[in-house]
Amino acid sequence: PQFLLEVNHLKKYYEIPQGMFKEKIVVRAVDDISFSIKKGETFALVGESGCGKSTTGRTILRLTEPTDGEVRFDGEDIRSLSYEKMRLLRSRMQMVFQDPYASLNPKKTIREILMEPLRVHNKYEKKERMDKIRKILEIVGLSDHHLDRYPHEFSGGQRQRIGIARAVVLQPDFIIADEPVSALDVSVQSQVINLMLELQKEFGLTYLFISHDLSVIRHMTDRMAVMYLGKIIEVGNTDDVFENPKHPYTQALISAIPANHPRESKDRIVLEGDVPSPANPPSGCAFHPRCPAAMEICSRRVPEETDFGSGHTAKCHLYQMNEKREEKDEHAVI
Ligand code: SF4
Ligand code: MG
C-alpha cells in the first residue's frame, strides 16, 4: 500500500463520573479523525495539551482500545488482529515517550533495558543480540562502557537516546514519538532531533511526531495535522501550512512561535481563554468562543472541509462560501 498507516474515523471516548451524583459524562478525547502516513514520511500531530494528540498515538498502537474507527498498518486492520498477531506487529511499531526517565526502568541496566525487547519479541539469534545492542548504542552516540550503568547515571538527553535506542533496536518500520524533546534542555533538543532524522535515513523509518512545539514541527516534519478538541481542523504539507495557514487556530499557533526575526513578530494573534473541556465542547465550530474571526454561523454549524489543493485542507466557515450562499437563499425564501 501507498500508506504505511491509515486512520479512518478513529474515535476514543471516555466516560467519567461528574458532579454530586457522579453522573457519567462522555469525554470525546478523539472524535472522528482520519489521516494517512506514507512510508518514510514524518507526519506531525500538533495542538495544545489536552487536544487528543497523545490519546491518538496510544490508540493507534492499541495501548488503549479505540471506541470506533479503523487503523490500518501496512494494509492490515489492526483492530481485527488476534493478540498474537498484534504482538508480532508491535515489534514493527514502537513508541518514544516524552519523559525518558519515567519510561526507563530505574532498576535495570542499559544492557537489560535494550535486551528486553529483543527477548520479548524473540528477535535475532541469542548470540547476535549483544552485537546489535552495541551497534545501536554506537549509532545513538553512547558506547560499550555505558552498558552496565543505570538510567539515573545519565543526563536527560542521554536518557532519551537510550529510549530511542530501545525503540530502534527491534528495527521497526514505524515510530510514534510523543513530545520526545519537550522535557529536554533547548540546547539538547536539536541533537536528539538530528539523531532521529539520521535514524530515519539509516533505517527507512516512518514517524508520527506528536508535539505542541511548532518550531520543532517545522524543522522535522513533512506533513502536519492540527488538532483542536479531539478533531483535526487542518492538514497539509508542513511548508504549505506554515506559509499559508488557513484555519484561524492554526494561524494563531503559528503567530505565537517565538519569532527569530522581528519582521515575523508583529502579527501575533493572542487567543482568549483556555481550551474548553472536551466533556462539554462548544457547539458548531468548537473553536468559536476563542476565534477572532468567528461569525454568526460558527456557533450553529460544524464547518465542512475545504480543499486547497496538494492535500491541504481545513474546516472553517470562512472558506465555505457556497454554504453561506445557500443560507442566504434559505433566508430569501422565508
Ligand atoms: Fe473561526 Fe468560524 Fe472558522 Fe471556527 S468556523 S475557525 S469560529 S471562523
Ligand atoms: Mg500529550
Q: Where are the domains of the chain?
A: 3-229
Amino acid occupying residue 61 = L
Burial status of residue 75 (CB atoms within 10 A of its CB: 0-12, 13-18, 19 or more): exposed
The ligand 1 atom at the shortest distance from the C-alpha of residue 285 is 4
% residues pLDDT > 70 (the chain): 93
3-state DSSP helix/strand/coil % of the chain, to nearest 5: 40, 25, 35
Inter-residue contact 261 to 274 (CB < 8 Å): no
Our separate counts of H helices and E strands in the chain read 12, 12
Q: How confident is residue 193, by pLDDT bands cut at 50, 70 and 90?
A: very high
What distance in angstroms lies between residue 88's CA and the mean position of ligand 1's atoms?
Answer: 43
Burial 109-122 (b: 16+ CB within 10 A, else e): bbbebbbebbeeee
Kindly tell me if the per-residue pLDDT of 263 is higher than 80. no
The ligand 1 atom at the shortest distance from the C-alpha of residue 292 is 1
What distance in angstroms lies between residue 77's CA and the mean position of ligand 2's atoms?
Answer: 25
Q: How confident is residue 112, by pLDDT bands cut at 50, 70 and 90?
A: very high
Distance CA 178, CA 49 (A): 12
What distance in angstroms lies between residue 287's CA and the mean position of ligand 1's atoms?
Answer: 6
Q: What is the pLDDT of residue 29?
A: 94
Q: Mutate which of 272, 287, 297, 323 to test ligand 1's pocket (most atoms within 8 Å of Cβ)?
A: 287
CATH of 3-229, one of 3.40.190.170, 3.20.20.100, 3.40.50.300, 3.10.129.10: 3.40.50.300
- Please compute the mean of the pLDDT values over residues 157-176 and round it to a whole number: 95
- Regarding predicted confidence, which is higher, 263 or 52? 52
Q: What is the pLDDT of residue 279?
A: 83
Q: Mutate which of 300, 316, 320, 324 to test ligand 1's pocket (most atoms within 8 Å of Cβ)?
A: 316
Q: What is the pLDDT of residue 265?
A: 53
**Which cell numbers hold the place of 217?**
514541527
The ligand 1 atom at the shortest distance from the C-alpha of residue 249 is 6
Kindly tell me if the per-residue pLDDT of 272 is higher than 90. no
E-state strands within the chain:
3-18, 23-38, 42-46, 68-73, 76-77, 93-96, 174-178, 206-211, 223-228, 231-237, 305-307, 313-315
What distance in angstroms lies between residue 166's CA and the mean position of ligand 2's atoms?
Answer: 21
What distance in angstroms lies between residue 56's CA and the mean position of ligand 1's atoms?
Answer: 24
Q: Minimum mean pLDDT among 68-72, 254-258, 286-290, 310-314: which range?
A: 254-258
Quote the crossing angle between the two packed helices 110-120 and 156-168, to the nearest 10°: 20
% residues pLDDT > 90 (the chain): 75
Distance CA 214, CA 203 (A): 26
Kindly tell me if the per-residue pLDDT of 294 is higher than 80. yes
Kindly tell me if the per-residue pLDDT of 136 is higher than 70. yes
Q: What is the pLDDT of residue 266?
A: 57
> From the CA of 211, which ligand is nearest?
2
Kindly tell me if the per-residue pLDDT of 68 is higher than 90. yes
> From the CA of 182, which ligand is nearest?
2
What distance in angstroms lies between residue 166's CA and the mean position of ligand 1's atoms?
Answer: 43
Kindly tell me if the per-residue pLDDT of 261 is higher than 70. no
Kindly tell me if the per-residue pLDDT of 332 is higher than 80. no
Kindly tell me if the per-residue pLDDT of 327 is higher than 60. no
What is the residue with the minimal CA distance to atom 8 of ligand 1?
294
Distance CA 21, CA 118 (A): 49
Inter-residue contact 211 to 182 (CB < 8 Å): yes
Q: Minimum mean pLDDT among 105-109, 201-205, 259-263, 264-268: which range?
A: 259-263
> From the CA of 53, which ligand is nearest?
2
Residues having CB within 6 Å of any atom of ligand 1: 247-248, 285, 287-288, 291, 293-295, 298, 303, 316-318
**Which cell numbers hold the place of 93?**
511499531
Question: Parallel, antiparallel, or unpaired: how do β-strands 231-237 and 223-228 relate?
Answer: antiparallel
Q: What does pLDDT average to over the chain? A: 91
What is the residue with the minimal CA distance to atom 3 of ligand 1?
316
Q: Mutate which of 271, 298, 302 to test ligand 1's pocket (most atoms within 8 Å of Cβ)?
A: 298
**Which cell numbers hold the place of 233?**
481542523
- Please compute the mean of the pLDDT values over residues 10-36 and round it to a whole number: 91
